[in-house]
Structure 1
Amino acid sequence: MRISELSARSGVSVATLKYYLREGLLHAGLATSATTATYDESHLERVRLIRALLDSGGLSVAAARRVTDALDTPPPARHDLLGVAHGALSGGPLSPAEGSAATAAAALVDALGWHVGICAPARAELERALAAAAAGGLEVPARDLTAYARAMHKVAEVDVRGVPRDSAAAALRHVVVGTVLLDPVLLALRRLAQEDVSSRTPS
């Protein structure tokens, strides 16, 4: 299909598609001349993914590019998919927090016996989030943090069960898109659950 048809089918303007091409978000089409190219269903699927990442997921163009780069070069080992996906979504290595937040995060992972890499992006994200909460006057008790972690572990079990096993590319796409687009779902469910629990709690 020509870029005009890709635009019509995706609902994205030609100018925006050309921007995606320049930014490396969308892979090049098959050149038919010096100034024209044809595109296929893989381009349509990628455009829809890009829109989901930018609009629903709220990612920046740079973050979306990290995701598409990872999708184009998936790692061979299935377990490594999570590391690639989390690294793409986090923006790369984060400087770990210091003090009580780092101690609390490390103690939590150790106490639960979780197999988590010392350089895992989510570990640094947890440390920084706890540090930000403390700076805002909210200290999260270890008991509560453990309860949150155990609840999220059950969510993670559901997540991992749903990862496709037929190809690394399909698995990586599932992990990345699922993380970006389902995080708001999890947040909404938490708020609904809070309302339900509050309504059942005597005043």
Structure 2
Amino acid sequence: MRISELSARSGVSIASIKYYLREGLLTSGQQSAANQAVYSEQHVRRLRLIRSLIDIGGLSISKVRATLAAMEDETTPMHDAFGAVMHGLDEIPTDNPSADIGAAYDEVQAWLKARNWRIEDDAPAPYRLAELIATLRRFGFPAAPTDFDASADFVDQTAEAEVHYARSMPDRTAAIETMLIGTVIYERALVEVRRLALEAASFRLDKTD
């Protein structure tokens, strides 16, 4: 297919496709003439993954490049490839944390150890959880990592099912795309369910007053 059909099939503009080609995120098509190239179904899938990483995952071009490199390197274990996606969804601030965030971070690390959750040192999630706990405390909430034990028990089961499902995909590209979309969309779904539960709880309490 030519670039115009590739654009129509993938839903990505020709300008964006040319940009991804220049940035090395998308491999060149097979030259059919001096100024023409032919693209394959693999290019459609690659564009779909790139757009997923950018639009759904919110990754920068540099992080997309790193994720794709991990995906393409067959010597990289799938766990590390998944890690590239997970860590790419956020980043640890470069500023030194305040004392309360630092204290909360130490508590989070102890909590992870107690749960026997092995998390890489450069993972942003523990720091972000510490930030949230510290913020709750600033507003008078007696928050602690152990408050999330019940939620952690639940997501621990669902996470294992998600990873199994992603790893059952026919190739690394599909596995990483599945992991990314499942992570981002499922997280958003859980947030919405919690908001529904809060509204329902407020209604019940209002009726009993």
TM-score (norm 2): 0.76
Displacement of 1:27 after TM fit?
2.2
Provide the residue aligned with 1:69 in structure 2: 69
Provide the residue aligned with 2:196 in structure 1: 192
Displacement of 1:103 after TM fit?
1.6
From the superposition, tell whether residues 135 and 73 of structure 1 become closer, same or farther in structure 2 (CA, over 3 Å).
Answer: farther
CA contact (8 A) 1:67 1:89 kept: no
CA contact (8 A) 1:6 1:39 kept: yes
SS at match of 2:199: helix
Deviations 1:160-183 (CA, angstroms, capped at 9, x unpaired): 231233444433332233223433
Q: Does 1:151 align with 2:154?
A: yes
CA contact (8 A) 2:6 2:44 kept: yes
Displacement of 1:18 after TM fit?
0.8
Correspondences of 1:28-39 after superposition (within 5 Å): 28-39=28-39
Gaps of 5+ in 1: none
Gaps of 5+ in 2: none
Displacement of 1:44 after TM fit?
1.1
Structure-1 separation of matches of 2:57 and 2:4: 26
Matched residue type, 1:44:
V
Provide the residue aligned with 1:47 in structure 2: 47
Displacement of 1:72 after TM fit?
2.5
Structure-2 separation of matches of 1:71 and 1:78: 8
How many corresponding residue pairs? 202
Q: Does 1:183 align with 2:187?
A: yes
Displacement of 1:137 after TM fit?
5.9
Q: Does 1:120 align with 2:91?
A: no
Higher mean displacement: 51-60 or 15-24: 51-60
From the superposition, tell whether residues 7 and 149 of structure 1 become closer, same or farther in structure 2 (CA, over 3 Å).
Answer: same
From the superposition, tell whether residues 179 and 13 of structure 1 become closer, same or farther in structure 2 (CA, over 3 Å).
Answer: same
Structure-1 separation of matches of 2:49 and 2:28: 16
Structure-2 separation of matches of 1:136 and 1:23: 45
Provide the residue aligned with 2:144 in structure 1: 141
SS at match of 1:32: strand
RMSD in angstroms over aligned alpha carbons? 3.0
Structure-1 separation of matches of 2:65 and 2:189: 23
Structure-1 separation of matches of 2:158 and 2:115: 15
Higher mean displacement: 165-174 or 42-51: 165-174
CA contact (8 A) 2:133 2:145 kept: no
Displacement of 1:84 after TM fit?
2.8
Provide the residue aligned with 2:177 in structure 1: 173
Displacement of 1:42 after TM fit?
1.1
SS at match of 1:25: coil
CA contact (8 A) 1:3 1:39 kept: yes
* Percentage identity across paired residues of the two chains: 38
